[in-house]
Amino acid sequence: MLTLDDRVILQHFVARSAPGDAYLRRARILLLADDGLPAERIAAEVAVPVAQTRNFLRAFQKQGLAVFPVDLFKPPAPFGPEEALNSAARQITQRQLEQMDFWLPQVVATADATAVHELRKTIRQLRTAMLLFAPYDDTKRLVGYRRKLRRLMTCLADSRDLTVFTASLSAFSEQAGFSSQECAAAGELLGYWQEQLAEVDAVMCQRVSRPRWQELLSQLADWAAPAEQPSPASREAVPYQTRHLLPVLVYQQLAAVRAFDERLPTAPLATWHGLRIQLKRLRYLLEFFEPLLAASATELLQQLKEMLELLGALNDARVGLALLADLPAAVPGAAAVPLYRTALESRVEQYKLEFDPYWRAVNQVAWRQKLAMALVAL
């Protein structure tokens, strides 16, 4: 019901809300429903009538988190538009490091799938920030940190990919229409991949528990420590504040996204993955500075999240096809492999079709006008 991103947003909101908050009950309704509780149990838990609970859940199915006020989940601004971009980058890094400190121990202890996902996302956000802000870093340390974080991402990659793959294969194996032989083959194939996942998780926990990663976090925390605000080094006017430089960064990243327009119709799946990377960078850049932007940024971010969910599902299908292609012929449940391959190939085409209206919207003037309005606040 909830995406991982939505669940984390709601959990954080519940954790920091006062008991009398008007929207606390609604957030709890969604979290309890995502845990599988029926409407009657949820209504009793949050002291809301059953009919009202059901109506809210139906509204969420249609609107997603848009059922809440636009600014409800918007974090307070940690700095102003006059902040030097270098200083803003350090504060953004501090926030991401707090997330890493939260998720890394959970990955080491339990290989929890949600923790792996959130840790990967946080690392990706950090690497995006380092890529974008490296030209404004006087210490020249961000390029090296970015390479090291890439190696940590690699430690997590196989676990995340196999977790998604086995969950998808499990759902596929339970669908109706299979013969008894096909069901048995699908079950054998699932069992094989679950064994592979257990082995991969054990290796991952060993790798991410190494002291080198805590040392890296310590180095990053040292870099992100508050530094004195820079001042122009010469009599010439030099742009260095966030309000000067952020619009440039945003439009550069938008250009990187729009460059895919003519390539998508006949593009291989690797190109779609490249578009996903560039869209993530645009999303994260806007999220980093969302508290400084006008309200239209929230709507744009929601659209980017929906686009990225589709592209993420498309990439998961791509990874799944690659895993199937590498299987030995004698793998348990081999008879189910062509069935699942056909299902994944069908999903790829469906995701592309669903993505098309989002892509056309981004390439329209109205979308770029909303982006311009978001930046006007600077």
Shared domain for 135 and 22, answered yes or no, is no
- CA dist., res. 378 & res. 366, Å (int): 20
**Domain contains 110:** yes
Task: Indicate if 183 and 323 belong to the same structural domain.
Answer: yes
Cα gap 189→183, rounded to integer Å: 10
Q: Are 115 and 209 found together in one domain?
A: yes
- Asked if residues 337 and 331 have their Cβ atoms less than 8 Å apart, the reply is yes
* 134 shares its domain with 277: yes
Residue 75, pLDDT score: 65
Q: Structurally, how many domains does the chain consist of?
A: 2
Looking up tokens 């690797």 gives: 270
Helix/strand/coil for 241: strand
31 and 136 inside one domain:
no
What does the pLDDT average to over 301-317?
95
Do 176 and 32 sit in the same domain of this protein? no
User: What pLDDT score does 176 carry?
Assistant: 65
d(CA 190, CA 204): 21
CA distance 150 to 270: 19
Give the model's confidence band at 21: pLDDT under 50 very low, under 70 low, under 90 confident, else very high: confident
Q: What is the C-alpha separation between 119 and 112, in angstroms, rounded? A: 11
What Å distances lie between residue 179 and 147, 169, 172, CA to CA?
49, 16, 13
Are 43 and 112 contained in the same domain? no
For residue 21, the 8-state DSSP code is: -
CATH number at residue 250: 1.40.20.10
Residue 302 lies in a domain: yes
Residues 126-149: tens digit of each pLDDT: 999 999 999 988 888 999 999 999
What six digits make up the tokens of 198? 């257990």
Domain membership of residue 74 (yes or no) is no
pLDDT of residue 262: 86
- Look at residue 72 and tell me if it is in a domain: no
The answer to whether residue 79 is domain-embedded is: no
Does residue 288 sit in the same domain as residue 360?
yes
pLDDT in tens, 155-205: 999 999 999 999 999 999 887 678 888 899 999 999 999 999 999 999 999
The neighbouring-strand residues paired with 84 are 241
Residue given tokens 């952020």 in the structure block: 246
In a domain, 277, yes or no: yes
Task: Give CA–CA dist 217/149, Å, rounded.
Answer: 10
Calpha distance 160→318 (Å, rounded): 14
Domain boundaries, position 335? 85-225+240-376
φ/ψ region of 177 (left if φ > 0, alpha if ψ in -120 to 50, else beta) reads left
Q: Taking the CB of residue 325, how many other CB atoms lie within 10 A of it?
A: 9
Q: Taken in order 369, 371, 373, 376, is the CA torsion positive or negative?
A: negative
C-alpha 36/C-alpha 16 separation (Å) is: 24
- Residue 230: pLDDT band (50, 70, 90) is low
- Written as six digits, the tokens of 80 are 């102003």
**Are 19 and 112 in a shared domain?**
no
SS3 call for 221: helix
Question: Is the confidence at residue 207, as pLDDT, over 60?
Answer: yes
Paired tokens of 321: 């096809």
Within-domain flag for 232: no
Question: Any idea how long the chain is?
Answer: 378
123-127, 319-323, 329-333: lowest mean pLDDT where?
Answer: 329-333
Distances (CA, A) of 331 to 161, 186, 328: 19, 11, 6
State how far the Cα of 370 lies from the Cα of 374, in Å rounded to an integer.
6
- 322 pLDDT exceeds 80? yes
Q: Within 13 A of 340's CA, how many CA atoms are on the CB side? A: 33
**Residues 164 and 40 placed together within one structural domain of the fold:** no
Asked if residue 132 and residue 199 are part of one domain, the reply reads yes
Tokens 């974008």 appear where? 132
Rounded to whole angstroms, how far apart are CA atoms 198 and 65?
A: 34
Give the span between the Cα atoms of 42 and 35, in whole angstroms: 10
Phi, psi of 259 (to 5 degrees): -65, -15
Confidence of residue 237 (pLDDT cuts 50, 70, 90): confident
The single-letter code of the amino acid at 180 is S
- Among 15, 32, 67, give the residue marking a domain's end: 67
The verdict on residue 338 lying in a domain is yes
Please check whether residues 354 and 309 belong to one and the same domain.
yes
Q: Final residue of a domain: which of 67, 99, 117?
A: 67
Cβ 287 vs Cβ 301: under 8 Å: yes
For position 375, what pLDDT does the model report? 95
pLDDT digits (tens, 9 = 90+) for 359-378: 999 999 999 999 999 999 89
Whether 42 contacts 29, CB under 8 Å: yes
